Chains A and B, each alone.
Chain A
């Protein structure tokens, strides 16, 4: 969910580390050799306080979940049983938890298993926050304690919690800060479903879910946030289940109210939403994807209006709808496209080439053109790989004879019923099994056959210009293996496991037919003549 406040945007890191230093200076500042302030990562009372009504209005559609969470957390200084919040992606789980803690003004430690992608980083992040240690350059960005095994983590966590509690009670006695904080420290673990795919993930999950029992410390409360269902966490030896809170997906009305926030012209936007929301929600109900799809559409919608602050009446609404209609169908068949930053020359060239073609709204090239830049030899290599994966090896001799071309007239097939069936079976097999593998030698042979014809023509052209070029042959053949490894890294070609009988590695092309044709069109290569099919 896109969270916007009128004043400033709250990201997760700033939710934990407030921008101003704590007024209740419980710890002395370190000597300012490098400007890193001793900031208490716990939520102290210096962020904007949030009342309950504000909290509910900031998170539309989440009122029951907020109340449930507040009830489970309970009054200050009261222990809580661990809680697991689960729901689909983009349903506002993390936002709700962080806002609730902003409202309650209690101390918490937040660690997401997405940014802390291995146990060591997770443990050290939690300990750093508890010990109020900020990584800075003078230590080489190291953490307070080094910890990568779970037993060490449990011991260090216990010590850190005791230290944090005693520091806090000491601070309270020195200065009378707002007594809202209380003694409880809450540990929030986000994205715990990712732990399952870690090495020894199940052990770490069990330990994480049993932290209160292992620690035997009274004043720690645990909250887990997960995208996966609770069923994913049942382990074979039984588990102590946390209390569950379900975050259902947003209904259409909720999506409407979320998207309506912070709009310059609410009435206009609400007309727009009434047009686009229903059709788009048939495709996806995730609010982040909808917001991204609506942005360019809304720009287009407003183009027809002379005055963007106008409140539309019925006639205007119909006019705008008619204007938007053709673009809707195109936009619904698009998925999120990142427009690439291209230089002005390429833009000019593109606009010249595509004056007639209908372009989609994000300004990217219409489908039918390749929008990735590749070197010439890489393109040929890709085409060769596609052909090698697609055609059976026995056809190579016929297709790539010494003239470098194939003559389709010789291979006109009679359309017998059996051969049609065979074609269907082959097509079905390709659907199921996917592209075939080929060894490196076959790829290079095909590559050489294809490029030899090209150079033939290229050399003729160049000789006409009167400049004999010897390097043209070298141009396309040089660094083929380097190109191949680049293509493998970009996942256009992938390496399969080596066959135990032959011992050489085999490759497989990963691009689909559309892309192969786009590439071939770019280099004017007659790909359809070479494909074994129908």
Chain B
């Protein structure tokens, strides 16, 4: 039971990005502090402000915003009101205005009418800005996926930023985007009203990663488990974890993961997989868990698929490869069949099947996306006539053929002969 509780605790920590990124709350140069400083200033000085948070996916931008806002809400409960918009959902202006009006109504306990038109909503928003400005309340707009708002005419951005400048309002606009050139996407008139403050989120350094791991993986002493067990468990796990974290192999694994994608989210996924494979009998994490999780990052999907493909389908792939080697620019099922029959006449194999059977194998390959049509416009041609192309590279095909034990030798021979003269 206790091990289950420990497992559940670790998993819920890893699931919650706010917890994960709270590691860096205390350090002074972190983005958390900078953002907090900025917003506190604009609240206390009663001025408008705007800022962009940029960084690759999974670096914790929204988590940092959430942490800052949480803290500010506890410190100044009545002088902040938060509106959150997401570019995926609200990039259309009407939806955005409706959502803004809805959230404003929710915050101030007003009744929201679904039938209000977008002009009404826009007017409402401007009125609210004025009112809140007069009563010294700041409205904070969080625009997630900022680059999607910058598509099209940018009416919402313009009206928002314009209202901030003209009306006596106190508003802060926080834009969050994974495109590092998000501010280049803005129109001239919008950009002139936008302050050029940017916070960049960079991949963490080694010490930061170490701090993160300790913050997440060490169990606390006060979560209501049996005290004797807790002491033993904790010390064991600390001792154990110390060992693991200092182990060279673990460092290598960690390095290879961060090499591919340095964002913290990637690391969190790796840890989640490792933690969920923690054995429940011993209740301890071991290096094997991390190694197992690392294996999942080394998949080769297309070569994996080639192990499950039938022999006839392999024949078709090899025929297509031969046609490509012969530099036939466009070929279709009929040409592949011609090649297939030529092979069988030359080598007298036993795998000679009728056209309809081969067509079914061809369709399987299309479904698996190992081959594809050259143009997808859905022309009115039957499958046999439409030009096709291979979607795997010759090298992957070679690896796939080699790894199959039941592959007929003739295929290897045909393949070798063509590519590796």
A positions within 8 Å CB-CB of B: 71-72, 74-75, 77-81, 86, 88-89, 91, 149-151, 154, 203, 206-207, 210, 213-214, 218, 227-232, 237-241, 243-244, 246, 248-250, 281-286, 332-335, 431-435, 494-496, 508, 510, 512
B3-21 interface (Cβ within 8 A of A)? 4, 7-8, 11-12, 14-16
B residues in contact with A210, CB < 8 Å? 88
Cα–Cα, bound, A151→B58 (Å) = 23
Cα–Cα, bound, A80→B269 (Å) = 10
Interface contact B11-A78, CB-CB below 8 Å: yes
* Neighbour of A229 across the interface among B302, B334, B361, B385, CB < 8 A: B302
Interface contact A151-B309, CB-CB below 8 Å: no
Cα–Cα, bound, A285→B305 (Å) = 12
Interface contact A494-B89, CB-CB below 8 Å: no
- Asked, given contacts A248-B304, A333-B354, whether A283 binds B382 with beta carbons under 8 Å apart, the answer is no
Query: For residue B358, which residue of chain A has the nearest CB?
Result: A283
**Supplied contacts A285-B310, A333-B357, 6 more A-B pairs, CB within 8 Å:** A80-B11, A210-B88, A229-B301, A239-B57, A243-B273, A284-B360
* Neighbour of B335 across the interface among A238, A335, A432, CB < 8 A: A432
Cα–Cα, bound, A333→B385 (Å) = 22
Cα–Cα, bound, A369→B178 (Å) = 63
Interface contact A88-B368, CB-CB below 8 Å: yes
Cα–Cα, bound, A229→B372 (Å) = 14
* Neighbour of B380 across the interface among A238, A332, A431, A496, CB < 8 A: A496
Interface contact A432-B8, CB-CB below 8 Å: no
Cα–Cα, bound, A230→B272 (Å) = 19
B residues in contact with A78, CB < 8 Å? 7-8, 11-12
A residues in contact with B269, CB < 8 Å? 81, 241, 243
Closest CB in chain B relative to A338 CB, distance in Å: 14
Interface contact A231-B380, CB-CB below 8 Å: no
Interface contact A77-B8, CB-CB below 8 Å: yes
Cα–Cα, bound, A1→B265 (Å) = 36
B residues in contact with A228, CB < 8 Å? 369
- Asked, given contacts A78-B7, A281-B310, whether A206 binds B88 with beta carbons under 8 Å apart, the answer is yes
A residues in contact with B332, CB < 8 Å? 431-432
Interface contact A74-B367, CB-CB below 8 Å: no
Q: Is B277 an interface residue (CB 8 A)?
A: yes
Cα–Cα, bound, A249→B307 (Å) = 8
Total A-B contacts with CB atoms under 8 angstroms apart? 143
Cα–Cα, bound, A249→B368 (Å) = 12
Cα–Cα, bound, A232→B391 (Å) = 12
Cα–Cα, bound, A241→B357 (Å) = 38
Taken residue by residue from 273 to 291, chain B's Cβ proximity to chain A (1 for < 8 Å, 0 otherwise) reads as: 1001100000000000000
Cα–Cα, bound, A203→B88 (Å) = 7
Interface contact B334-A207, CB-CB below 8 Å: no
State the majority secondary structure of interface residues on A.
loop
Interface size on B, residues (CB 8 A): 62
12 A/B residue pairs, CB under 8 Å, sorted by A = A74-B11, A75-B4, A79-B15, A228-B369, A230-B301, A282-B312, A283-B310, A283-B312, A283-B361, A284-B364, A332-B353, A333-B356
Query: For residue A279, which residue of chain B has the nearest CB?
Result: B350
Interface contact B276-A71, CB-CB below 8 Å: yes
Cα–Cα, bound, A154→B85 (Å) = 12
Interface contact A332-B95, CB-CB below 8 Å: no
A residues in contact with B265, CB < 8 Å? 240
A residues in contact with B385, CB < 8 Å? 432-435
Interface contact B276-A332, CB-CB below 8 Å: no
Closest CB in chain A relative to B258 CB, distance in Å: 15
* Neighbour of A237 across the interface among B7, B147, B353, B360, CB < 8 A: B147
Cα–Cα, bound, A510→B361 (Å) = 21
Q: Is B296 an interface residue (CB 8 A)?
A: yes
Interface contact B15-A285, CB-CB below 8 Å: no
Closest CB in chain B relative to A90 CB, distance in Å: 10
Interface contact A495-B380, CB-CB below 8 Å: yes
- Asked, given contacts A239-B57, A432-B335, whether A151 binds B353 with beta carbons under 8 Å apart, the answer is no
Closest CB in chain A relative to B363 CB, distance in Å: 10
B residues in contact with A232, CB < 8 Å? 369
* Neighbour of A285 across the interface among B62, B99, B308, CB < 8 A: B308
Interface contact A431-B338, CB-CB below 8 Å: yes
Interface contact A282-B335, CB-CB below 8 Å: no
B residues in contact with A281, CB < 8 Å? 310-311
B residues in contact with A282, CB < 8 Å? 310-312, 351
Cα–Cα, bound, A335→B62 (Å) = 54
Interface contact B89-A214, CB-CB below 8 Å: yes
- Asked, given contacts A282-B351, A284-B312, A332-B353, whether A154 binds B89 with beta carbons under 8 Å apart, the answer is yes
Q: Is B331 an interface residue (CB 8 A)?
A: yes
Interface contact B357-A151, CB-CB below 8 Å: no
- Asked, given contacts A151-B99, A246-B299, A333-B357, whether A431 binds B11 with beta carbons under 8 Å apart, the answer is no
Cα–Cα, bound, A512→B382 (Å) = 10
- Asked, given contacts A78-B11, A237-B147, A246-B304, whether A332 binds B309 with beta carbons under 8 Å apart, the answer is no
Closest CB in chain B relative to A483 CB, distance in Å: 20
Interface contact A207-B305, CB-CB below 8 Å: no
